Amino acid sequence: MPPSPKRHPYKNQFLAGLPDEDLINLRPQLHLIPGKMGAVLFGAGDSVRYLYFPLTAVVSMVANSQDGRGVEVALIGSEGLVGVSAAMGGRSNWHEAVVQAPGYLFKVTVDVFRAELNRSAPLRDSLNRYMLFLLAQISQTAACNRLHRLEQRLARWLLMTQDEVKTNEFHETHEFLSRMLGTDRSEVTIAAGILREAGLISYNRGKVKIVDRKRLEEVSCECYQIIASALMRLCEKRS
Give residue 10's pLDDT: 55
> Among candidates 90, 79, 86, which has minimal Cα distance to 55?
79
Note the pLDDT tens digit of each residue in 115-146.
Answer: 999 999 999 999 999 999 999 999 999 999 99
Q: Kindly report the average pLDDT of the chain as a whole number.
A: 91
What sign for the dihedral angle of Cα 173, 12, 10, 98? negative
Over residues 83-103, mean pLDDT: 90
pLDDT grade for 4, boundaries at 50, 70 and 90: very low
Residue 239 scores a pLDDT above 80 = no
**Alpha-helical segments (H) within the chain:** 13-16, 84-87, 110-119, 121-147, 150-165, 174-181, 185-197, 213-219, 223-238
The alpha carbon dihedral of 5, 107, 13, 62 has a sign of positive
Radius of gyration (C-alpha) of the chain in whole angstroms: 18
| Cα atoms in the Cβ-side hemisphere of radius 13 Å centred on 88 | 16
Reported confidence tier of residue 86, pLDDT bands at 50, 70, 90 = very high
- Cα-based distances in Å from 189 to 23, 67, 142, 144, 193: 46, 22, 22, 19, 6
3-state secondary structure 43-110: CCCCECCEEEEECCCEEEEEEECCCCCEEEEEEECCCCCECHHHHCCCCECCCEEEEEECEEEEEEEH
Q: How far apart, in whole angstroms, are the C-alpha atoms of residue 74 and residue 60?
A: 6
Average pLDDT of span 71-91 = 93
SS3 180: helix
Q: Supply the pLDDT for residue 92.
A: 75
Q: What angle do CA 42, 181, 216 make, to 5 degrees?
A: 125
Query: What is the C-alpha to C-alpha distance for residues 103 and 211, in angstroms, rounded to an integer?
Result: 23
Record the pTM. 0.91
| Chain segment 168-212, per-residue pLDDT in tens | 999 988 899 999 999 999 999 999 999 999 999 998 888 999 999
- Domains delineated in the chain: 13-120 (2.60.120.10), 149-220 (1.10.10.10)
Neighbours of 75 (CB within 10 A): 23
Question: What is the pLDDT confidence band of residue 68, given thresholds at 50, 70 and 90?
Answer: confident
> Which pLDDT belongs to residue 116?
94
Other C-beta atoms within 10 Å of 205: how many?
Answer: 6
Q: Residue 66: its pLDDT value, please?
A: 81
* pLDDT for position 8: 46
